Amino acid sequence: MGKTLVDKIWDNHVVVSKAGFPDAVYINTHFIHEVTSPQAFDGLRKRGIPVFRTEKTRATADHNVPTIDQHLPIKEALSRHQVEMLTKNTAEFGVELYGLGHPFQGIVHVIGPELGITLPGMTIVCGDSHTSTHGAFGAIAFGIGTSEVEQVLATQCILQYRPKRMKIEINGQLKKGVVSKDIILYIISRISASGATGYFVEFAGEAIRSLSMEARMTVCNMSIEMGARGGIIAPDETTFAYIKGRQFAPKGADWDKAVAYWKTLHSDADATFDKVLSFDAADIEPMITYGTNPGMGMGVTQHIPSLEQVEDKERPSFKKSLDYMALEPGSALLGKKVDYVFIGSCTNSRIEDLRMVADFVKGKHKADDVVVWIVPGSKQVEAQAKQEGIDKIFEAAGFQLREPGCSACLGMNEDKVPAGMYCISTSNRNFEGRQGPNARTFLASPLTAAAAAISGKVMDVRELV
């Protein structure tokens, strides 16, 4: 019987499989950052053991870093301490660090792919739930907790049960003005924030196949927002073309051998999935969220469900959510005034995202009372944007192009949306307080966010492209 892609990669990485025990799974690449690693290094110290495979561990500083004046010491004492701890820990344990000031620094899920560290067939973990991003390359990639970070540092392995398999097909072609962020927001709105819990999701179908690598990363990135252990897309020529020539990618004869192997990485025709869902790309319109979990999303022209449309049992949570957002059940969001626009995060901060926004805003200027933050995903994205003159377009539009980091996606640094304000954001979570205490988040695509930046309100971007 045929195997799914996830099973093929899983089987290639099982070190020990014993009845009753979770599998000991070998990890090819372990990314670490300043927030979820210090306690793991402490654990190694207490046990008196080293990092088992330093060359398979890469570190960067992203969650806490300021996005202006990165050349200066970090002002906020606790953030500075945490970033300094990462420097100290990586030096002591011999792990390579792409810290502030390094030309490779950036959001961990942006730099892995752009440096050619992320490759098909790999197992990849990081103490960050959006590690699912790397699944876009045909890798098994998932987020872990700090105790698991310590396991991987100590043994290059992790204990895991084999996940259930789900396939989500998006058939047909996307309509104009609809981009990959809309695909994933649409799926989550259809199956809920817990609709894929326990599953590893393979995305397939014509609409997925036709996406660029960066667009595929956006889809896999938000797999966790429907509860999935991870998302994955079978590698193809688009994947190989993206990887070829990157810093750490295989070269020469190794490249040829690698590609020959990677071409075997797809679900067999007779492989069975525990669950298969199919959607039609033509049904997807530009999406926006209205509530406080990513499952509370709708087409931008739709109305928020009325109380009667929500099941009895779910009404208290639904009401709590809309109270937080100060929105009425049954109302529309089109025309709703926004105060902030955030274009960034591991979901949408890559060069194609910035190009998409720049193409749209070229020759336009932001609305007067809107603050627009553009935060590139990495130093390399920032440099590329400047090389292409995108920075000038943003400047002319009144947008602030800042320096790389996680920024207002989770507001660990100073980039917080003030209480009560509405932010249209290309990030991945609209949880209460996510972008700052009492901040209100609408998740959307870079295009929809750019349209809001220009008009100062929620717009149907299809009217403008």
Partner 1 sequence: MIHPPAAPLRIYFMKKNFQHLVSSAVPLPIENIDTDQIIPARFLKATTREGFGENLFRDWRFDANNQPRPDFVLNNPTYKGEILVAGKNFGCGSSREHAAWSLGDYGFKVVVSSFFADIFKNNALNNFILPIQVSEAFLQQIFTAIEGDANAQLEIDLEAQTIRIAATGQQVTFDINPYKKACLINGYDDIDYLISLRSDIEKYEASREFNF
**What part of residues 226-285 is at the interface with partner 1 (CB under 8 A)?**
227, 229, 250, 254, 257-258, 261
Give CA–CA dist 49/46, Å, rounded.
Answer: 8
Q: Is 409 annotated as a binding residue?
A: yes
| Shortest reach from residue 394's CB to partner 1, in Å | 26
Quick one: 398 or 433, whose CB is closer to partner 1? 433
What mask, x for binding partner 1 by CB under 8 A, covers residues 179 to 208? Answer: --------------xx--xx----------
- Which one of 221-229, 326-334, 395-403, 443-451 is the stretch in contact with partner 1 (CB under 8 A)? 221-229
In eight-state DSSP terms, residue 97 is E
Reduced to 3 states (helix: H, G, I; strand: E, B; else coil), residue 424 is strand
Give CA–CA dist 125/143, Å, rounded.
Answer: 6
The tokens for 358 are 């720049």
| Shortest reach from residue 383's CB to partner 1, in Å | 28
| Shortest reach from residue 122's CB to partner 1, in Å | 4
| Shortest reach from residue 232's CB to partner 1, in Å | 14
Closest CA to 346 of 53, 81, 118: 118
Positions 323 through 362 that interact with partner 1 (CB under 8 A): none
Reduced to 3 states (helix: H, G, I; strand: E, B; else coil), residue 403 is coil
The tokens for 46 are 């207490």
CB 168 within 8 A of CB 203: yes
Give CA–CA dist 303/325, Å, rounded.
Answer: 15
| Shortest reach from residue 25's CB to partner 1, in Å | 10
Q: Residue from 36, 223, 407, 425 that binds partner 1 (CB under 8 A)?
A: 36
| Shortest reach from residue 454's CB to partner 1, in Å | 30
Quick one: 276 or 419, whose CB is closer to partner 1? 419
Q: Is 406 annotated as a binding residue?
A: yes
| Shortest reach from residue 115's CB to partner 1, in Å | 14
Q: Are strands 157-160 and 164-171 parallel, antiparallel or unpaired?
A: unpaired
Q: Residue from 5, 6, 7, 29 that binds partner 1 (CB under 8 A)?
A: 29
List for the chain the helix, strand, coil content (%; round to 5): 40, 20, 45
CB 240 within 8 A of CB 206: no
Positions 67 through 96 that interact with partner 1 (CB under 8 A): 78-79, 81-82, 85
Q: Residue from 4, 6, 28, 281 that binds partner 1 (CB under 8 A)?
A: 28
Spatial neighbors of 242 by CB under 8 A, at least 6 apart, are 113, 212, 213
Q: Is 346 annotated as a binding residue?
A: yes
The tokens for 322 are 């809309």
- Which one of 202-210, 224-232, 379-387, 455-463 is the stretch in contact with partner 1 (CB under 8 A)? 224-232
Q: What are phi and psi of 423, to 5 degrees?
A: -120, 125
User: Cβ of 197: how many Cβ atoms within 10 Å?
Assistant: 13
Give CA–CA dist 109/227, Å, rounded.
Answer: 18
Count of residues binding partner 1 (CB under 8 A)?
Answer: 81
| Shortest reach from residue 243's CB to partner 1, in Å | 11
Spatial neighbors of 87 by CB under 8 A, at least 6 apart, are 97, 99
What mask, x for binding partner 1 by CB under 8 A, covers residues 123 to 162? Answer: ----xxx---------x---xxxxxx-xx--xxxxxx-x-
Quick one: 295 or 404, whose CB is closer to partner 1? 295
Quick one: 194 or 306, whose CB is closer to partner 1? 194
The tokens for 34 are 């300043």
Query: Rounded to the nearest 10 degrees, what angle do helices 446-455 and 351-361 cross at?
Result: 30
Torsion of CA 9, 201, 229, 27, to 10 degrees: 20
Quick one: 51 or 284, whose CB is closer to partner 1? 51
Q: Where on the phi/psi map is residue 18: left (φ > 0), alpha (ψ -120 to 50), or beta?
A: beta
Q: Are strands 29-32 and 23-26 parallel, antiparallel or unpaired?
A: unpaired
Quick one: 310 or 367, whose CB is closer to partner 1? 310
CB 325 within 8 A of CB 292: yes
The tokens for 332 are 């529309």
Quick one: 205 or 291, whose CB is closer to partner 1? 291
Quick one: 419 or 465, whose CB is closer to partner 1? 419
Q: Is 301 in the site for partner 1 (CB under 8 A)?
A: no
| Shortest reach from residue 409's CB to partner 1, in Å | 9
- Which one of 122-130, 176-184, 275-283, 347-355 is the stretch in contact with partner 1 (CB under 8 A)? 122-130
- Which one of 36-44, 173-181, 271-279, 366-374 is the stretch in contact with partner 1 (CB under 8 A)? 36-44
CA–CA distances in Å: residue 444 to residues 131, 212, 290: 20, 19, 10
Quick one: 99 or 411, whose CB is closer to partner 1? 411
Positions 401 through 440 that interact with partner 1 (CB under 8 A): 410-412, 419, 429, 431-434, 437-438
Spatial neighbors of 364 by CB under 8 A, at least 6 apart, are 397, 454
Quick one: 307 or 419, whose CB is closer to partner 1? 419
Which residues belong to the annotated binding site for [4Fe-4S] cluster? Answer: 346, 406, 409
Which residues belong to the annotated binding site? Answer: 346, 406, 409
